[in-house]
């Protein structure tokens, strides 16, 4: 007695679940929740918050580019937390904050925010030729 082999459908059915039956995979958290932000994004936000705080007092900072880089490009004996470059021919002044060296030195989120602000204040002071205390009166007090 021959039993016919059932034919497969011409196109596979769409899969509604993953192969282990646990459901569709998706993001762990919606994008508006802070959990969804990467460490690099959170660090960039700290730099922008610090810059906004200083721009209220120093309007000339509108002509300065603030950048975040992971690590410094030039190997040195000591690893800088930030750097500044004055305006050059056809280029705007630039301040760079290095993310990884700052993150390594900070133990938690609050320390990281304070250290980022101190680095930004120090670089702005160097760029403007002022003391950090005159750029931000609260410098070094936190």
Tens digit of pLDDT at every position of the chain (142 positions): 555 656 666 666 555 555 666 666 666 677 777 666 788 999 999 999 999 999 999 999 999 999 999 999 877 788 899 999 999 888 999 999 999 999 999 999 999 999 999 999 999 999 999 999 999 988 877 6
Which uninterrupted H or E stretch holds 96?
Answer: strand 93-98
Cβ(96)–Cβ(82) under 8 Å? yes
CA dist 68 and 53 (Å) reads 17
Spatial separation of the C-alpha atoms in residues 121 and 58, rounded to whole Å: 11
Tokens standing for residue 43? 């660090």
Q: How many residues does the chain have?
A: 142
């Amino acid at each position: 007695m021959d039993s016919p082999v059932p034919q497969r459908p011409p196109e596979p059915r769409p899969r509604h679940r993953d192969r282990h039956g646990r459901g569709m995979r998706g993001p762990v958290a919606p994008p508006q929740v802070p959990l969804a932000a990467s460490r690099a994004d959170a660090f960039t936000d700290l730099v922008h918050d610090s810059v906004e705080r200083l721009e209220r007092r120093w309007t000339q900072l509108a002509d300065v580019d603030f950048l975040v880089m992971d690590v410094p490009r030039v190997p040195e004996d000591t690893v800088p937390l930030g750097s500044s470059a004055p305006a050059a021919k056809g280029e705007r002044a630039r301040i760079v904050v290095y993310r990884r060296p700052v993150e390594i030195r900070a133990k938690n989120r609050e320390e990281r925010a304070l250290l980022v602000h101190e680095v930004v204040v120090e670089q702005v002071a160097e760029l403007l030729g002022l003391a950090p205390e005159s750029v931000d009166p609260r410098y070094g007090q936190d």
